[in-house]
Chains A and B, each alone.
Chain A
Amino acid sequence: MDDARETTSPEASERVVIERALAPFAGGAQIPRHALLPVLHAVQSSRGWISKDALAYVSERMGIAQAELYGVASFYHLFSLEPSARRVLHVCDDVSCRLRGSRAIVERLSMACAPEGESRDDAAWHRSPCLGQCERAPAALRVIAGDAPTQRSLTLRSPEHAEEVFSSRNTGDHDASASSFEARQPRGALRLLRRIGVANPASLDDYRAHGGYQGLRRAHARGAAWVLRELSEARLLGRGGAGFAAGVKWSAVASAPGREKYVVCNADESEPGTFKDRVLMEGDPFALIEAMTIAGFAVGAEKGFIYVRGEYPLAAERLERAIAEARAHRKLGDDVLSSGQRFEIEVRRGAGAYICGEETALLESLEGKRGEPRSKPPFPVHEGLFAKPTLVNNVETLCAALDVIVRGAAAFASVGTADSTGTRLFCVSGHVAHPGVYELAMGMSLRELLALAGAEFSHIQAVLLGGAAGTFLRGDEIDVPLTFEDTRRVRATLGSGSVVVIDDQTSMMDVLRGLAWFFRYESCGQCVPCRAGTIRVDELVQRVRAKVPLGTWESERERLADLGRVMRDASICGLGHTATSAIESAFERFELWPDRVAKKGRA
């Protein structure tokens, strides 16, 4: 900035917090822009909000204009730019938690504690999109600001319990269920989950005792070209949702020109009903570190970032600890395993924005900007983080790649189908007896998965497969094998591996309203089709729910089809492309239009 505005004077304590957060970045002539989110996190967690003075001070220190900083901070919903209570309870009110009683909790909190967003005795609560804790729904995230800030995920067992948590001043520890993982499948069949609940996630020794670092040693012994070949031969497809061939992506980064390259782990798992990446990071953090180190070796990158969603404090904590331990034992650093490989990993935390799961939005966010998707091309493999060639894979994909290297391509592909090799993690939640993460060889049917999770088949109304951006299936469609190709055949998608079971007592229109609200709330607002389209779709869903059409029902159907088409065709990124897919699939597969329901004589 070239204007001479008054030097700002934030509270001395704020200044200390900001300086402490800036310290690790302060080596060069100027503090790099990518330090911004860590700094904003530090301010937010010390006071519970980010004041104008604090922002002005950050602006001065980082040389970024205040308006620009405000634009970034206001993008993320875990940052508050207004005075806020120190104790904040984020109550999940998304699809899975709603099916397990979150509405009663929300009602109780607003009746007995405080209206949403208002402070009472230094405490406040907000509704939140999916917190990724669906196996212990209804869930919440409790954030307490202060000198020793804490963030804890927990289950709200009842409205009474929610009330108690709201007013309690105790920080509480991480919910015990957070760290426990109960395998409901024969352990022998598990690959990605095999160490979870068995090996101590805090112990490198334990990780090694359970097969850890065999993959990296093997990679070092056989060379980068071998790793890339093995990955291609394993025909591993990305597990994040798009199903892109991992071998092709890794090879593209490896062969991209330039010395500076990055490996970025997309751990911004935010697709409603999805929590497998969280389970992997919390239960087996060293596996992700090893996988990224192999990726760095294979593509020629010396630096990796794990972008963990802000709502996953335990995962971030465990990863940080594991990285420090790996570094101390020369599993990271200048000479990894005495092989000459240089590789470092940093954990970066998101701050509440579903869109940052989109890979280019994630890169923008990592760079300290608003999480607005870039237009592609150029693709990240050519111009990614800091405009350098970048490998972006999600947690499960990286862990599966590790499995390829440990087992070898042939053994990896010995389970699954020809087009969908290996195993896949599924997150089952909603109306089932045993919600949780399940690992299945690809090709097993949805029915088999639901049986494992204890679904009552006679009462299944619908299964939402692939998350909010996925597809609804009817109770009679659950024999579909869980593969990329078979789900495509029934016009569905595995998406993120989310499987939400909805029983026949649930109003589908209530579920759809939740999804429509979700996209309206999470659209980044950059492009017109998505920003305006998600609002119009939400309004339309509300009209159907209230049975009050705008014009005729026929015109409403036309409107929904038109909105879906323009969002799929003309939005910038995947959020807009898929924002109507679940909603449209519900209208296709269920009789939800009031005029058609009436004709059939049903209420």
Chain B
Amino acid sequence: MRSEKPKGRDGGLVQIERTIELEIDGRAVRVPEGSTILDACRKLGVDTPTLCYADNLTPVNACRVCVVELEGSRTLVASCSRKAEAKMVVRTESERVKSARKMVLELLGSSVDMSATANFENWCSRYSASPERLGTPPNAPAVIDNDLFVRDYAKCMLCYKCVEACGDDAQHTFAIAMTGRGGEAKIATEFDVSLPDSACVFCGNCVGVCPTAALQFKREHDLREAGEWDESKQSVTKTVCPYCGVGCVLELHVQDDEIVRVTSPSDSSVTDGHLCVKGRFGWGYVR
């Protein structure tokens, strides 16, 4: 469920917000009822790594990198999905937490190409994780079956975000799903048919939520392959999509006078970070 936005704008009831108090790393924090432990951590400025979590998607708590220690709980709990309760006592930097996060990073880094994942290296050094001691990720060429985006399965950490964005968290197209089981699990279309043969409408919302660049704009992929992708040379320009009257907020990422990627902020009240095929990909005419 998405975080409830205060109502009232469209004449609905303004609910009186009840708050609860809990303790994180010895500090008291007060958050609205219904908040997660992660919300509470963020309110205190406790930096918590997350991968499968996104503000605009239902938490699936699959990656487990955000685990924290909760007094009274036998196991660690995923802060992204565990609701905060009054009088909880939470520790985010105990040895157990650090060791679990380190291991999750190592398990991921040794089986998935995390090189294009924001913050991954920083977290590895913060938790002294050395993924190579468990193994090295297999290499596989990206699947290119359309002109708009590629699927690089070597980078896929199975975080479910793309499935959620394609499904009932945003697009309601349901073109992809988690398939198979265990080590054979894979995000795919039915019978692994190509995207153009599937229900995909190429909204690119899966690309928008992918944390590891397993889903990439075709242009970005080509530039990366050519060694020309350079985020330091990119500027971001905010604008409004010119196509229809909805007024989606666009962020145009420009490198060398060329739009190489289009995003929308996840906190935009118009888009929640999601776009359609035109806003996401239909800017070829700009040049």
* A positions within 8 Å CB-CB of B: 1-3, 5, 52, 55-56, 65-71, 74-75, 77, 81, 353, 370, 372, 375, 377, 520-529, 531-536, 539, 551, 555, 559, 562-563, 565-566, 568-572, 577
What are 23 A-B residue pairs whose CB atoms fall within 8 Å in the complex?
A: A1-B173, A65-B174, A65-B177, A65-B199, A66-B190, A66-B198, A66-B199, A68-B174, A377-B83, A524-B181, A524-B182, A525-B180, A525-B184, A527-B63, A528-B104, A534-B183, A563-B103, A565-B100, A569-B75, A569-B96, A570-B76, A572-B61, A572-B62
Q: B61 contacts A375, CB within 8 Å?
A: yes
* B positions within 8 Å CB-CB of A: 60-65, 67, 75-76, 78, 81-83, 96, 99-100, 103-104, 107-108, 110-111, 133-135, 157-158, 167, 172-185, 188-191, 198-199, 201
Q: A566 contacts B172, CB within 8 Å?
A: no
| Residues of A contacting B103 in the complex (Cβ-Cβ under 8 angstroms) | 529, 562-563, 565-566, 570
The prevalent SS among residues of A at the interface is: helix
* Cα distance A537–B273 in the bound complex, in angstroms: 39
Q: B181 contacts A67, CB within 8 Å?
A: no
Q: A532 contacts B172, CB within 8 Å?
A: no
* Cα distance A419–B217 in the bound complex, in angstroms: 61
Q: B107 contacts A532, CB within 8 Å?
A: yes
Specify which of A56, A375, A523, A528 is in contact with B182 (CB 8 Å cutoff): A523
Known contacts A566-B100, A568-B75; A70/B185 CB under 8 A? no
Specify which of B60, B99, B133, B174 is in contact with A565 (CB 8 Å cutoff): B99
Count contacts between A and B, CB distance < 8 Å: 155
Which are the 9 A-B pairs with shortest beta-carbon distances?
A: A71-B177, A65-B174, A525-B185, A566-B103, A66-B190, A532-B107, A70-B190, A523-B182, A67-B177
Chain A nearest CB: distance from B53 CB in Å? 13
* Cα distance A571–B60 in the bound complex, in angstroms: 13
| Residues of A contacting B175 in the complex (Cβ-Cβ under 8 angstroms) | 65, 67
| Residues of A contacting B76 in the complex (Cβ-Cβ under 8 angstroms) | 569-570
| Residues of A contacting B65 in the complex (Cβ-Cβ under 8 angstroms) | 528
Extra contacts, 12 of them, besides A65-B175, A570-B76 (Cβ < 8 A), are A52-B190, A65-B174, A70-B191, A372-B178, A523-B182, A528-B157, A529-B107, A534-B183, A535-B183, A539-B135, A570-B64, A570-B75
Specify which of B96, B111, B173 is in contact with A532 (CB 8 Å cutoff): B111
* Cα distance A448–B157 in the bound complex, in angstroms: 49
Chain A nearest CB: distance from B117 CB in Å? 13
Specify which of A52, A67, A562 is in contact with B176 (CB 8 Å cutoff): A67
| Residues of B contacting A534 in the complex (Cβ-Cβ under 8 angstroms) | 182-183
Chain A nearest CB: distance from B271 CB in Å? 19
| Residues of B contacting A571 in the complex (Cβ-Cβ under 8 angstroms) | 64, 75
Known contacts A66-B190, A566-B100, A569-B96; A527/B198 CB under 8 A? no
Chain B nearest CB: distance from A468 CB in Å? 15
| Residues of B contacting A75 in the complex (Cβ-Cβ under 8 angstroms) | 179-181
* Cα distance A91–B162 in the bound complex, in angstroms: 38
